Amino acid sequence: MAGRTPQVVLVGAGHAHLHLASRATEFVRRGYAPVLINPGAFWYSGMATGLLGGRYTQSQDTVDPRPLIENTGGRFIDDRVASVDTSQRTISLASGRTVPYELLSFNIGSQVDLSGFSGSTPNLWPVKPIANLWRLRRHLEDRFRQPHHKAPHHILIIGGGATGSEIAANIDALARRYQAPARVRICTGGSVLLPEAPAGASRRLKQVLSARDIRITTDCHIERLENGVAVDSTGREFSYQIAVAATGLRAPEVMRSLGLPFRDTDGLTVTNALHSPADSRVFGAGDCIALAGSQLPKLGVFSLREAPVLLHNLLATIDGTPLRKFRPQSHSLRILNLGRGKSLAVRGQFHWYGRLSQWLKHLLDTRFVRQYQQR
């Protein structure tokens, strides 16, 4: 680093790093050059299923991170990280470029775990990256617009958690918008939908989806996809034209390649100060990290709460002042967009379904995105 301005490199334009990018002048004031590396735009997960269902446009759901970091004195690199050499403090990019760093932070989200499938999967759409759902929407719209298509479109959702349930409801809403016949089925390995939620919320979700003729098959572990047929562990077969994988999330493999402590598929292990216990110059937030002593679900709300702590601790590392601890909240509000202008909100043991929940979700989501689009 001799002779160079030290760099704070932010890998990924996730929820937390948008917060940091909008306040990058704090690094500049301390003589550090902030750099944000991300392949293209930020897609907001909170509005992703609404995007699929036709409620939102691409422009409403995305943020261009370039002006955000450049307007605060930093630099944007449109690229992907291929590897990191923590001993030399350098990052190798997919383009072949090398970027040095003094401090490094990851906020690159997660990817769908497809390790349980075998066979060819040409019509399988993972729910991440979020841009996949925009491409899936356009693909479905092309199908639904076909004026002479009378046979139902068979769509299989693999996974019965919050995301799988939202995907099923919003594909149904999109088909309804085009008055297209669709047969949507959820195959979930659990005994109920939304197993992490209170039993009442799970029952309410099942009632809503069943009332829309969305079929729900529980205790169904899909193992093979071949030629438009999904086969589960008991040999049952389900035909489909489009399959959507909402089978759980895992940290991107680049996090494992750092050679730092890593927890299973959860991500880079970090202390409650959000840095690696083996390298205090490597930080992280969001879905790509595993907080020591905690098993946090991969939800954007935690990245949002981590953001101010992450910013403080990067600055404190520069200043040589004490770091703060991140303490995750015990209960968080989660609102599932179920299409047709209604949502299911869940917090702790409470849940409520209807248009008021959707109004609140729309308010919170659009407020988050607009604060970064308008800078």
Query: Domain ranges in the chain?
Result: 7-110+251-319, 112-249
How many helices (H) does the chain have, and how many strands (E)? 11, 27
Ramachandran category for residue 249: left, alpha or beta (phi over 0 → left; psi -120 to 50 → alpha): beta
Per residue in 115-153, pLDDT (tens digit) is: 877 766 778 999 999 999 999 999 999 999 987 767 899
Q: In the chain, what are the helix, strand and coil shares in percent, each to the nearest 5? A: 30, 25, 40
Q: Which CATH superfamily is domain 7-110+251-319 in?
A: FAD/NAD(P)-binding domain (3.50.50.60)
- Quick check: 375 pLDDT over 80? no
- Place 296 in a pLDDT band, splitting at 50, 70 and 90: confident
Place 298 in a pLDDT band, splitting at 50, 70 and 90.
confident
Calculate ∠ Cα 106-80-289, nearest 5°. 25
pLDDT of residue 146: 87
- Written as six digits, the tokens of 2 are 């001799």
Name the pLDDT band for 114 (thresholds 50, 70, 90): confident
pLDDT over 70 at 177, yes or no: yes
Architecture of domain 112-249: 3-Layer(bba) Sandwich (3.50)
Q: Report pLDDT for 244.
A: 97
What pLDDT was estimated at residue 3? 53
Token code pair at residue 131: 């841009």
Q: Kindly give the pairing relationship between strand 103-106 and strand 7-11.
A: parallel
Return the higher-pLDDT residue of 213 and 148.
213
* pLDDT per position as a tens digit, 254-263: 998 899 999 9
Query: pLDDT tens digits, residue range 266-280?
Result: 899 999 999 999 999
Domains 7-110+251-319 and 112-249 share a fold: yes
- pLDDT tens per residue across span 4-57: 899 999 999 999 999 999 999 999 999 999 999 999 999 999 999 999 999 999
Of the chain, the percentage scoring pLDDT greater than 70 comes to 98
**pLDDT at residue 340, rounded to an integer:** 96
pLDDT at 301 over 50: yes
Alpha-carbon gap, residue 240 to 182, rounded angstroms: 11
